[in-house]
Amino acid sequence: MLDHQLSLVLPAHNEAENIEAVVERAREILPKVTRAFEIIVVNDGSRDETGAIIDRLAQTYPNVRAVHHEVNRGYGAALTSGFQAASGQSVMFMDSDRQFDIADISALLPYVPYYEIVAGYRIQRRDPFYRKLYGKMFGLSVWLVFGLRMRDIDCAFKIFRTDLLKGIALTSPGALINTELLLRARQRGASIVQVGVHHYPRPAGESSGGSPRVVFRAVGETVRLWWRLRSEPTDGPDAPATASPRGPLGKIAAVLAALLAVVVIRTVFRQRR
């Protein structure tokens, strides 16, 4: 059992069909695995009843807190707001779409005393083909552009030591938040371990994570993050190789082409369904 308070951050955008079940499951499991906990649900400009549901849950349960964005600011912005609101010594985040089971936290907790970041990876990803393809190509692009290699960089099941997290100034408002967070943690010499977790089909609602709008936004964020990190001073030998002399702009061009290809494949896939 974790001997300190855990803050669970749940970003939610149009998750009215899922969010209550996710919070109730967390309230069932967390008392069994940690001494104290809080659940922070960030409503990222939802157009459905997500905001009203989390307000009701926050009024019902003292350890549930609601954070609201008036407009949709993006996945990264939702996580950042949740991190800023967290008061526990460890911070975990998980998606609110019921594709993860909070009970899998038991696989991560034994590593928390020894590592600053415990990163889950999906043992078997239960998503449509185009999302799996996008994930693989995105992971490859992060390795080529930033020199960061993870088994599942965007897996939304991670635990961080709060003092590390609070010391990182995050700037990515969208899907690149995991990449930026791990890169900046590596700059600080943070210790990371990767642990397998289960993944499940989405039972309700619709994901926007693989939409062309999100993909194009991720492409733009990749370029901007590369430029920011290239312009910043580096701190020691573990800093990311963001300014490779072997044609970094060529790498970015290849990444852009790959991501655009995924958008085309996704469009064709949906048209044939």
User: What is residue 238's predicted lDDT score, i.e. its pLDDT?
Assistant: 45
Identify the pLDDT of residue 208. 64
Q: How far apart are CA 217 and CA 242, in angstroms?
A: 20
Q: Note the pLDDT of residue 254.
A: 59
pLDDT by residue for the chain (273 residues), tens digit each? 899 999 999 999 999 999 999 999 999 999 999 999 999 999 999 999 999 999 999 999 999 999 999 999 999 999 999 999 999 999 999 999 999 999 999 999 999 999 999 999 999 999 888 788 777 877 887 888 888 889 999 999 999 999 999 999 998 888 889 999 999 999 899 999 999 999 999 999 887 655 666 666 767 777 777 777 777 765 544 444 444 434 555 566 556 656 655 655 565 555 555
Rounded to whole angstroms, the Cα distance separating 154 from 148 reads 12
* Cα separation, 115 vs 264, whole angstroms: 40
CA 3 to chain centre: 25
Check residue 227 and give its pLDDT.
75
User: Under DSSP, is residue 247 helix (H, G, I), strand (E, B) or coil?
Assistant: coil
| Torsion, CA 260, CA 241, CA 90, CA 159, rounded to 10 | 40
Write down the pLDDT at residue 242: 44
